[in-house]
Every structure is written in C-alpha cells, then in structure tokens.
Amino acid sequence: MQVAAVSSLRMASRRHFSSSGIARAEQPASAPVVNYKRPVGGFRGGILGFLLGATVAGGAGYYYLLEEYQTASNLLLSSVEDLQSSTNKVRDYAKKIESVEAELKALRTKAATVEQLSELKGEVKKVYDALNIEHLELKSHVWGLEMDLQKVQQQAKSV
C-alpha cells in the first residue's frame, strides 16, 4: 500500500499542460486502462509551429536565394559575353594597327630621307648648271657660226 501512496503522491505533484481537468483520484487497480487522445498542448503546439514556420521560411529563403543566384548568373553571363565582344573588337583593332605599322615600315624603307633629298637636290643643281653652261656654249657657237655666215655672205656680195 505504501507503493500506491507514493505513486499517487507523484501523480498529484505533476502538472500536466493540457486543457482538460486534472484527475487526482486514484484509479482502482482492476480498472481498464483507457487511452484517450490528448489534445495538442501549448508547448507541443509552439514547437510544432516553430518547426513549421522555420521550414516554410527556409523554403521561401531558399527559393529567393535561388532566384537571386539565377539573376546574378545571367548578369555575369551577359557581362562575359560583352567582355568577349569587346575583346574581339580590341583584337581586330590590334590587327589593323599591326598591318598599318607593317605598311609604314615598308614605306619608310622605300621613302627618301632628308639627307638623300639634299644630295639629290645638289646633284640636280649640278646637272642644271652643266646644262646651262652647255646651252651657253652652244649659243656662243651658233652665234659664231652666224657671224661666219654673215662674213661669207658679205664677201659673196662684194665679189
């Protein structure tokens, strides 16, 4: 009987979190055990609500994070494509510059320098002076021939 008194004391000292009243009376040993469905209490309901809310918030956060990731990936991809097109343009400009430099180098080898032009100018002056001297010599020679021809004509008239 002492064991029954200790167990009833333990039952009385416990507090149950439920909306139903507390049964303090000791049940007879021969009474059948009745299992009844306990309603969800405030503590269990709070934990269940917290877990449900955390799951829903986590799912919504994951969905939002996934959308942001997709947006960022698309922006990064478009930036990479823009960078690729810019790189291609720069590469084309570099090829054009290289071809222009090659043409310029070829023209520099073919073009005359200032020294070469001054030498050529001096040679042209020498040739021009030589031609001028030859022209004057020819003129004096022609004048001499004309004088000789006039003398011959005057002699022919006088004879």
pLDDT at 18: 53
Buried b / exposed e over 97-117, threshold 16 CB at 10 Å, is: eeeeeeeeeeeeeeeeeeeee
What does the pLDDT read at residue 114? Answer: 86
Say how far apart CA 93 and CA 95 lie, in whole Å: 5
Q: Is the pTM of this model over 0.85?
A: no
- pLDDT, position 111: 85
- Which parts of the chain have pLDDT scores under 50? 6, 24
CB 17 within 8 A of CB 41: yes
Instruction: Say how far apart CA 63 and CA 110 lie, in whole Å.
Output: 70
Name the DSSP letter for residue 130: H
Q: What is the pLDDT of residue 43?
A: 67
